């Protein structure tokens, strides 16, 4: 899932300092699961903001609404009647959701309530680890299901480098070396030949905004 963490309070407070009526919109999917931007986090942020603004003698009126998914038009629609009553919006969705919201209400200032940190797995409650950078050319099939783009600190395609240290990455004793793990897993599966061949430079295709249309689908006429 997409993982995010709440922005520092002072930063949020500063972004909305000029607005008196602000709608805080949570997202009920990824960011709710990772405890950053769901219904509960919206309520917590609102009460913190209310209190702080009261102390500043600059009271604020805050609305709260958490929708199923901010990256989906179908759910955003539920906000259409609400937003006109507010001067600005805080979105606690991931970067994708925040933008989709801002796009739907182009006349309203929209502010991010979270910092989006990546696509991660849930190791335990409150503990997430990044696993994919959406490079667009997945190599997991040859690397034993371990992503060198994300998990190797240098994103090497022909690792490991010379810094591997007792199975850890040169950057830290707490970060396992991706290529050491790749080696171990492939060795156990008898598939080391996968990484014996030189892997030529990647043709990065994430350098421009990407659009995906699944086969069998096309852009609707009016959106094209």
Partner 1 sequence: MKSGSNLEKVLEAGHFAFTGELGPPRGANVEEVREKAEFLKGKVDAVNITDNQTAMVRMSSWAASIILVQEGLEPNFQMVCRDRNRLAMQADILGAAAHGIRNMLCLSGDHQKFGDHPQAKGVFDIDSMQLIAMVKKMRDEGQFLSGAELNEAPKLFIGAAANPFADPFEWRVHRLAKKIQAGVDFIQTQCIYNMDKFREWVKQANDMGLTEKVYILAGVTPMKSVGMAKYMKSKVPGMDVPDEVIQRLQGAEKGKVAEEGIKMACEQIEEFKEMKGVAGVHLMAIEWEHKVPEIAERAGVLPRPKV
**In this structure, what token pair is assigned to residue 38?**
């769901």
Cα distance between residue 111 and residue 92, in whole Å = 9
Q: Which stretch binds ligand SF4 (CB under 6 A): 7-15, 75-83, 97-105, 158-166?
A: 158-166
Cα distance between residue 71 and residue 31, in whole Å = 12
Q: Which stretch binds ligand SF4 (CB under 6 A): 15-23, 82-90, 152-160, 193-201?
A: 152-160
Cα distance between residue 9 and residue 37, in whole Å = 14
For residue 193, the partner it binds in ligand SF4, partner 1, none, with Cβ less than 5 to 8 A by kind, is none
Residues 158, 188, 191, 205: which binds partner 1 (CB under 8 A)?
A: 158
Under rule CB under 6 A, residue 195 binds ligand SF4: no
Q: Please, what sign has the CA dihedral across residues 184, 1, 98, 43?
A: negative
Under rule CB under 6 A, residue 145 binds ligand SF4: no
Cα distance between residue 139 and residue 145, in whole Å = 8
For residue 135, the partner it binds in partner 1, ligand SF4, none, with Cβ less than 5 to 8 A by kind, is ligand SF4
Residue ranges that bind partner 1, judged by CB under 8 A: 153-167, 170-171, 180, 183-184, 192, 196-202, 204
């Amino acid at each position: 899932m997409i993982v995010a963490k709440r922005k520092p309070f002072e930063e949020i407070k500063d972004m909305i300092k000029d607005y008196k009526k602000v709608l805080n919109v949570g997202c009920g999917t990824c960011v709710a699961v990772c405890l950053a931007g769901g219904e509960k986090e919206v309520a917590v942020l609102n009460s913190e903001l209310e209190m702080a603004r009261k102390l500043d003698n600059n009271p604020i009126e805050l609305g709260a609404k958490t929708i199923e998914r901010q990256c989906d038009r179908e759910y955003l629609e539920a906000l259409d009647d609400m937003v006109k009553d507010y001067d600005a919006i805080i979105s606690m969705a991931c970067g994708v959701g925040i933008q989709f919201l801002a796009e739907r209400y182009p006349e309203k200032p929209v502010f991010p309530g979270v910092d989006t940190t990546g696509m991660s797995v849930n190791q335990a409650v409150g503990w997430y680890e990044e696993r994919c950078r959406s490079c667009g050319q997945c190599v997991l099939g040859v690397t034993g299901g371990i992503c060198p783009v994300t998990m190797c600190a240098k994103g090497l395609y022909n690792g490991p480098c010379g810094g591997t240290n007792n199975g850890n990455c040169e950057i830290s004793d707490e970060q396992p070396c991706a290529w050491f793990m790749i080696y171990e897993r492939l060795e156990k599966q008898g598939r080391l030949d996968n990484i014996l061949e030189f892997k030529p430079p990647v043709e990065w295709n994430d350098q421009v905004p990407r659009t995906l249309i699944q086969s069998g689908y096309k852009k609707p006429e009016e959106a094209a």
